[in-house]
Structure formats: structure tokens, C-alpha cells
Amino acid sequence: MLEYLPHWLPAEASQATINIILLGAILSVSIFADALAHRTRIPRISILMLVGIGIAFVHQVWIGAQHSDVLGGLSEPMIQLALVMVAFLLGSELELRRLRNTGPLILVISLFVIIGGGTMVGAGLLMLGFPLVVAVSLAAISVATDPAAVSESVREKGSAGLAPRILLGIVAIDDAWGIIIFGLSMSVLGWVIGGDGQLALLHALWELGGAIVLGVAVGLPAAWLTGRLKSGEPTQVEAIAIILLLAGLSSLLGVSALLASMIAGGLVANLAYHHTRSFREIEHVEWPFLVFFFVLSGASIDLYKVDDAILLTLAYVFLRLIGRVLGGYLAVIFSRAKHEALPRNIGLALTPQAGVAIGMALLAAERFPEFSDSILPVVVASTIIFELLGPVLVKRVLR
């Protein structure tokens, strides 16, 4: 970024200085985005994503930068911190007292949605003549849902009742399903194509098992500590320490940060007497990081790859939408005891897709480089579509 600055600026304008200015500018833009959302009823998440895409256009097309990270390596940890916060807060939705009433329903709907969506994408792409690796990889990637977009849309809508609780519960476990299915899919594909399925399976088991161990290792001490500190600054320090430890250790160990954070949040919610203190303190500082998440996610998209594989992208988007709607509809019909209180189009509210899907696409492209030009552009382009339409669909379902 520094090489594109005017020459008349002082020589001491370092990358850290530019990053501070950009972060301040992003937060300032979010204030105008919030005002615009109130006036136009457009979800502020969609506006922030558009701001990020605008930054990507300026950075990549206008300036002509070769890389998509406008913050010089800082975007990834900022996005990671936001996702860890969201996952930790979603872990509070896994409180056993709540799950006694809604747990079976959450499990049924999530299974119907992921099976319906994944099967529709995989079978549809195979019927259209796309390669097996592309079809299976995109089917596994389609399972992932963006928890940040769904939870923020639910909170922004301000709805109460069964449907919002079910949605938050589903996205709390959706990425766990996604990681399991993606790991198994890569294992099967590796075994079918190259015979290295055992290595892929071990990697998937470590990513899942290590995340569980890390979540327990951080969650149990956090649950013991919560309630022994007075509310206020000490609790806020405790909450931020949990988030930083989860984000850093998961990256160091190569395990799923989302799954580890959800497990830690669930342990705190179920074992700590004053568990709401930590969650409230995180909620107080969460929104600025979510602003960075949505804007930087849009800014990190490689616009030069978006127009590749247009037909495959359209097919993937259409099949994923149909599969999720059909899966949600069948789940509500199947759950006769509760379906009167649930909208039958609940699958539409589970369409947002972001960081986890892109991460899976990068892993799939790394394992099967000959298909990277097919998988990566599709996931990048569909992420833009689902992140812009997803919040609108969530609000429509909750209406």
C-alpha cells in the first residue's frame, strides 16, 4: 500500500500508520452506513459489504495493487477475531436449559437443511456435467453458513420467539457440520483420486478433535473465573482475554477457531453462575469488530476472479438456494409439534456464506490445484451474492 502513496507525504508514513487511518475510516463509514440503513431499510451488513467491495475495486482496479489485503496482513487476524467473538456468543445459545426445548428441533432442521442443500448442489452439478471433484467440493462448501451475518440480522431485526432462537441455534452448530462434512468429503475424494484419504481424514480429525480440546481447555477455566470477578472492567478484560486466546491458539494449533469458540462459550453458559457477564461484555465491543469483518471480507475478494466460471457460479447459487429452501420446508413439515410456530421458508434465512466457505475453498484448491480455477471463483462470487442477499432474506423470514 505504501508504494501507491503520493511522494509528498512524510517518509515516516509507515504501514502501521496507514492501517490506523484505514481502520478509523472504516469505522467512520460504518456510521453513515448505519444511518443509510435506517433510512432505506437496506440491511447495514449489505451496505458494509458493498463498501468493502468498493475498497477492493479502488485497491485492485484503480490503484492496480497485486494483492487484495489493503491492511498489509492485518485483515486476516481482524476477520478471525470477529468470527471468534460471534462463535463464542453463539455458544451461549447452546445452554442445556434452552436445548431441552429447542435442541431436537435445531438438530432436525439443521440436518434437513445441510443434507438437502448439499445433496442438491452435488447431484445438480454432476447432472449438469461438471467434474466429480468440483461437484463434491462445492457440495461440501455449501453446508457452511455465515454466523456473523445471521446473528447480526436477527439482532438488528429485534425479533423474539421460536424462529430467532432456532436460527441462532442452527448457525451455532452449522459450521461444525460443515467442517465434518468437508473433511470427510476431502478424505473420500483423496482416496478415490489419489489414494491419500488417510492423511486427509487425520487432518480433519485433528481439526475437529483439537478444537474440542482447545474449547474445553479455555472454556473450563473461563467458566470457573466468571462470577468470581465483579462486573465492569475486570470482566471485560477476562472476556477479551478469552477471545484473544481462542483466536491465537486455534491458529497456532491449526484447529477450527469457530468450533473451539462455540464449545468454550457453551461451557461458560452452562457451568458459570454469572455467565451472562462475559457475554454482555463481549457484546459491548463486538460491533466494531463486525464492521471490520464485513468491510474487510468484501475488500479481500479478488475481483479479477469473479467473472470466471459464470455458468458454474449461477448453477451453484441456484442449487444452494433451492436445496436450503426445500430442506427447511421438509424439516418444518416433519417437526409437526412445532411447525405452527415456524415459517416454512426458514431455509432462506440460512443462506449467508462468508469466511468459512472461502477458507474451505482455499483448502480444496490447495488439495486439487487442477480444479482451483473452477472452485475459487465460484465461492468468491457466490459469497458476494449471498452476503448481499442473505441479510435481506433473514429479515424476510423473521417478518
More confident residue, 153 or 223: 223
**pLDDT confidence band for 384 (50 / 70 / 90):** confident
The pLDDT of 83-104, averaged and rounded, is 71
Say if 10 falls within a structural domain.
no
Say if 6 falls within a structural domain.
no
Say if 12 falls within a structural domain.
no
Which residues, including other chains, have CB under 8 Å from residue 208's CB and lie 6 or more apart? 176, 179, 180, 183, 255, 256, 259
The pLDDT of 388-393, averaged and rounded, is 78
Q: How many domains does the chain have?
A: 1
**pLDDT confidence band for 229 (50 / 70 / 90):** low
Using CA atoms, how far residue 218 sits from 133, 177, 215, in Å, is: 37, 22, 5
**pLDDT confidence band for 340 (50 / 70 / 90):** low
Say if 327 falls within a structural domain.
yes
Say if 46 falls within a structural domain.
no
> How much of the chain, in percent, has pLDDT values that exceed 70?
74
Give the CATH number of the domain where residue 101 resides.
1.20.1530.20
**pLDDT confidence band for 85 (50 / 70 / 90):** confident
Q: Examine the pLDDT at 1 and tell me if it is beyond 70.
A: no
**pLDDT confidence band for 214 (50 / 70 / 90):** very high
Candidate from 159-163, 264-268, 371-375 with smallest mean pLDDT: 159-163
**pLDDT confidence band for 217 (50 / 70 / 90):** very high
- The domain in which residue 185 lies consists of 75-398
How do residues 103-158 score in pLDDT, each as one tens digit?
Answer: 677 777 788 888 888 889 989 988 988 888 888 888 888 887 777 677 777 776 65
Q: Examine the pLDDT at 372 and tell me if it is beyond 80.
A: no
How do residues 276-290 score in pLDDT, each as one tens digit?
Answer: 555 666 766 777 887
- Please name which of 356, 361, 358 lies closest in space to residue 372, comparing C-alpha atoms: 361
**pLDDT confidence band for 236 (50 / 70 / 90):** confident
CA distance 329 to 236: 41
More confident residue, 121 or 52: 121
**pLDDT confidence band for 166 (50 / 70 / 90):** confident
Q: Examine the pLDDT at 338 and tell me if it is beyond 60.
A: no
Say if 287 falls within a structural domain.
yes
How do residues 295-324 score in pLDDT, each as one tens digit?
Answer: 877 777 777 766 657 888 889 999 998 988
Q: Examine the pLDDT at 11 and tell me if it is beyond 60.
A: no
- Please name which of 135, 85, 144 lies closest in space to residue 352, comparing C-alpha atoms: 144
Say if 24 falls within a structural domain.
no
Using CA atoms, how far residue 16 sits from 2, 24, 71, 73, 345, in Å, is: 10, 12, 9, 11, 46
Q: Examine the pLDDT at 8 and tell me if it is beyond 60.
A: no
pLDDT at residue 274, as a whole number? 58
Say if 142 falls within a structural domain.
yes
What burial letters (b/e) apply to 79-107, b meaning 16+ CB within 10 Å? Answer: bbbbbbbbbbbbbbbbbeebbeebeebbe
What's the whole-number average pLDDT of the chain?
Answer: 75
Which residues, including other chains, have CB under 8 Å from residue 60's CB and lie 6 or more apart? 68, 302, 303, 304
CA distance 194 to 266: 39
More confident residue, 370 or 94: 370
